[in-house]
Structure 1
Amino acid sequence: MDPQDNPTEITVSPFWRYILLAVGWLFLAIGAIGAFLPILPTVPFLLITAWAWSKSSRRLHRWLYRNKTCGPYLVAWNKHGVIPPRAKVLAIGTMTVGWLFLTIYVATSFWVPLIVGAIEVAVSTFILTRPSRAPHAPPSN
């Protein structure tokens, strides 16, 4: 079942509903900024937006998953755990550029680049081990 077709009712209190709506809008804005800044990822922020809106607004959640720009990526991730090849290259490439910038211009000791590099290797490993395309449907007889 697609998340946009989720029939479950919103069960959080009105207070938490407004908090989650605000969280969704905040992370959508950060994700939109990330679409233009090479050091800021987009998809993780959209995933947080999708989670927050799934708990607070079926209408906004549906809109996000049906959006022609980001919807297909969210659906592919939700259904099959897919990260497209272009997104993999961009994610790992921007992490590498950010790490190089940190190492050359910011870090005053070797510990910060070492720790950040280890985290980025773990994240890159996760990204590279995700499928790049959705599995094909079995042929019908």
Structure 2
Amino acid sequence: MEKHKIIKIIWIILGFIGFGLGTVGVIIPLLPSFPFYMLTLFAFAKSSDRLHKWFMSTELYKKNLESFVNKKGMTVKTKIRIAACVTLVMAVGFIMMKHVPIGRIVLAIVWVCHVLYFIFGIKTLEVEGGEND
């Protein structure tokens, strides 16, 4: 098999893994869907125009990524939802590291950077008219 085809297959597999984990993240709030859908978008763009167009036409893409990809920003509701999920996951890790103080410090620094990035690094978009997020 040609090297190009193998790489394409790997991107497709990564795209479907991201899609599956992102979809689980929509159902289970502890798993953030945004980074997995970003992986899906990137992987499908690298591998298959048809899969890329299909993913961009789904409600999952439109609800979770479209505003960020097109306008390079997110609504307040989306920012809060993503930050809350990440905070919950990091809180579990923080609790589990009660005997690892350096781990807690690193996790706290990562969490603060994450929150600051969402507040100051990502443009906040206004919700248009009757659009529900």
Same fold (TM over 0.5): yes
When the two structures are superposed, what TM-score results if normalisation uses the length of structure 2?
Answer: 0.81
SS of the residue 1:83 aligns to: strand
- 1:116-131 aligned at under 5 Å gives the runs 116-129=107-120, 130-131=122-123
Q: Distance in 2 between matches of 1:94 and 1:15?
A: 34
Unaligned runs of 5+ in 1: 1-11, 137-141
Larger mean Cα displacement after TM superposition, 70-79 or 51-60: 70-79
Q: Structure 1 73/109 Cα, relative in aligned 2: closer, same or farther at 3 Å?
A: closer
In structure 1, how many angstroms separate the alpha carbons of the residues matched to 2:15 and 2:32?
A: 16
Aligned residue pairs: how many? 125
- After superposition, the C-alpha distances for 1:28-86 in whole angstroms (9 at most, x for unaligned) are 10111111222211011101111110011111101111112322542321221112212
Q: 2:51 matched to which residue of 1?
A: 60
Matched, 1:32 2:16: no
Q: Give the number of the structure whose alpha-carbon radius of gyration is greater.
A: 1
Q: Which has more strand, going by share of residues?
A: 2
Give the one of 101, 105, 129 matched to 1:114.
105
Moved over 6 A (4+): none
The structure whose residues are more often helix, as a share, is 2
Rate the CA distance shift 1:81–1:134 in 2: closer, same or farther, 3 A.
farther
Kindly report the root-mean-square deviation, in angstroms, between the aligned alpha carbons of the 2 structures: 2.2
The two structures have a TM-score, normalised by structure 1, of 0.77
